Amino acid sequence: MRFPLALTAKIASHIVKHKLRKTPKFALVLQLEPLHTCNLTCTGCGRIREYSTSLKDMMTLEDCLGSAQECDAPMVSICGGEPLIYPKIEELIAGVLEQGRIVYVCTNGVFMRKKMRDYLASIYSPAQEPTLAKLISEKLLSDKDAETIRKGKQDKRPVIGPTKWMYWNVHVDGLEYTHDLIVEREGVFKECVEAIKMAKILGYQVATNTTVYKETDVKEIEEMFQFFSSLEVDGHTISPGYDYDAAKKDMVKRLAKKPEDFFLTRAMTREKFAKIQEWGERFTIFGTPVYQEFLAGKRELTCTAWAIPTRNVKGWKAPCYLMTDGHYPRYQEMLEHVDWNKYGVVNGVARDPRCENCMVHCGYDPSGALGTNYKRGDNWKNFRYNFSPRPKPYYEGRNVNAFNGVSAGKGHLAEAKAAINTGLAGAKSAFQNHTSQGNAGGSCGTGDTSQRDELLAKIKETGKI
């Protein structure tokens, strides 16, 4: 099967149950944001800007678990911000799993290896030595890390261990140069790859999560799939970059860029995703083939944002994950009070101008599963896609030049660094000459650009800018 039977059965039974009850609106996936603090400042993300006044706020563990029970979605996507920063992330994941739900941990990957080292310490015995040796030989653990693991776990807190009910969902927006540029920090792609390799050795399920933008090279996305397929990742989520309000404001205010130069229109999305169905046959793309047809411009769908509700420090976010017209204290109150007919695109006409270019998975992927805009044969398409054999790993992807950025001396800060000595005018890139932060272990993401600013100050002092 393309996806694990237990997971597919859980989601399918949830849909059937509500269809039989004729429930008009119900949740398939809960987007749970226990905090909005992040260690990165990704271009195209508006979260830490939209909630800039509440970055230090966090949902309580009880509130998080209560929200999962309240909407009763079979799947919970724990996101943020960076969820691995949440102080009780281990307890949160354990609690959601105890409720019998599927968990996706949507992470930028920087802290994954630390969490997996905690897991190794919690299960350590001499029988684990071959695993430690393998991880050390592949430079995924240091000798010092191994010594710490051998001492065992020093507290009684739960750990994040491998289970068929949980996925690491790692943010990757391209190969090394592109990804590091978008997350505004060099070294992050390499850390993601190392975390994914370690996770697969330890038996975790791992997926990647990619957003496609105007400047994204489609050939690079295909190569990215090939590369991660060679690492035997378990699946991929991919969605078009949408110019929602918070991201547009950040693009203008912080980066002094035009949003239309970065985000996709509907026509551009269809052009970028013209091969999505072919990719779906070759790689394990999460989602429905109906949604893939929509992305490729072969059909229309109606937005079902209510099927993937968002809960965060402010409450239940409405109307959707990306647009904010208000927050509600209760899930049912949100369902009843939001006029859902005001949103989305119907017959090519945007009900709300903010929806005009939106084709993102959190609004339209559930439409394919729920039978919105049903066409004859859709159910068979979804069934065949889910129950067909899983695409085999593409081991030729190991030949992809994935480390084409800082690892090859061509990071997006390379030209700016060279400018100190050579007189170049600054770093250039496919993403509008945007220079960014440096190493993968830097400061918490509240917009800190100290490394870049320090570098540019040095350039200015030399009189070469």
Identify the pLDDT of residue 461. Answer: 56
Same domain, 350 and 429: no
The runs of H, that is alpha helices, within 124-241 are: 129-137, 143-150, 176-183, 188-202, 218-230
Report phi then psi at 166, rounded to 5.
-130, 140
Query: Considering 353, 369, 399, which residue would you say is the last residue of a domain?
Result: 399
Which residue bears the tokens 């081991």? 395
Same domain, 450 and 340: no
Identify the pLDDT of residue 442. Answer: 35
Angle 165-96-6 (CA atoms, 0-180°, nearest 5)? 25
Q: Report if residue 408 sits inside a domain.
A: no
Same domain, 206 and 325: yes
| Cα-based distances in Å from 464 to 352, 420, 452 | 48, 7, 16
102-107 and 310-312 strand pairing = unpaired
pLDDT at 265 over 60: yes
Same domain, 271 and 374: yes
* Tokens describing residue 285: 């793309």
Q: Report if residue 90 sits inside a domain.
A: yes
Confidence of residue 181 (pLDDT cuts 50, 70, 90): very high
Average pLDDT over all residues of the chain: 88
What pLDDT, in 10s, does the model give residues 379-421? 999 999 988 899 999 999 999 999 999 999 998 877 666 655 5
Task: Say what percent of the chain tops pLDDT 90.
Answer: 73
Q: Report if residue 422 sits inside a domain.
A: yes
Q: 35-44, 240-249, 359-368: which range is least confident on average?
A: 240-249
Same domain, 13 and 39: yes
315-319 and 102-107 strand pairing = unpaired
At 381, is the secondary structure helix, strand, or coil?
Answer: helix
Q: Report if residue 406 sits inside a domain.
A: no
Q: Report if residue 130 sits inside a domain.
A: yes
Interatomic CA distance for residues 160 and 123, integer angstroms:
11
Q: Report if residue 404 sits inside a domain.
A: no
Q: DSSP letters along 202-223, please?
A: HT-EEEEEEEE-TT--HHHHHH
Identify the pLDDT of residue 444. Answer: 34
Q: 2-16, 78-92, 119-133, 299-313: which range is least confident on average?
A: 2-16
Same domain, 96 and 236: yes
- The CATH number linked to 194 is 3.20.20.70
Q: 103-107, 196-200, 239-243: which range is least confident on average?
A: 239-243
Q: What is the largest CA-CA distance in the chain?
A: 72
Q: What is the DSSP letter of 362?
A: H
Q: Report if residue 46 sits inside a domain.
A: yes
What pLDDT, in 10s, does the model give residues 325-377? 999 999 999 999 999 999 999 988 999 999 999 999 999 999 999 998 889 99
Number of domains in the chain: 2
The model's pTM is 0.87
Identify the pLDDT of residue 116. Answer: 98
Q: 87-101, 107-121, 406-420: which range is least confident on average?
A: 406-420
Q: Which positions ≥6 away from 13 have C-beta within 8 Å?
A: none
257 neighbors 251 (Cβ within 8 angstroms): yes
Same domain, 314 and 433: no
Identify the pLDDT of residue 439. Answer: 38
At 430, is the secondary structure helix, strand, or coil?
Answer: coil
Interatomic CA distance for residues 304 and 367, integer angstroms:
6
Same domain, 86 and 166: yes
Range of the domain at 425: 414-461
| Cα-based distances in Å from 293 to 1, 278, 353 | 21, 11, 23
Same domain, 392 and 434: no
Interatomic CA distance for residues 23 and 386, integer angstroms:
24
Interatomic CA distance for residues 178 and 405, integer angstroms:
8
Mean pLDDT calculated for residue range 75-100: 97
Same domain, 327 and 437: no
pLDDT at 88 over 80: yes
- β strands within 64-130, DSSP E: 75-78, 102-107
Identify the pLDDT of residue 227. Answer: 98
Identify the pLDDT of residue 443. Answer: 34
225 neighbors 284 (Cβ within 8 angstroms): no
Q: Report if residue 409 sits inside a domain.
A: no
Same domain, 342 and 238: yes
* Tokens describing residue 173: 């927006």
Of residues 261 and 173, more confidently modeled: 173
Q: Which amino acid is at 19?
A: K
Same domain, 348 and 426: no
What pLDDT, in 10s, does the model give residues 308-330? 999 999 999 999 999 999 999 99
Q: 139-148, 251-260, 436-445: which range is least confident on average?
A: 436-445
Helix (H) or strand (E) segment spanning residue 237? strand 235-240
Interatomic CA distance for residues 261 and 137, integer angstroms:
44
Q: What is the DSSP letter of 77?
A: E
Identify the pLDDT of residue 454. Answer: 52
pLDDT at 143 over 80: yes
| Cα-based distances in Å from 23 to 44, 302, 338 | 35, 18, 17
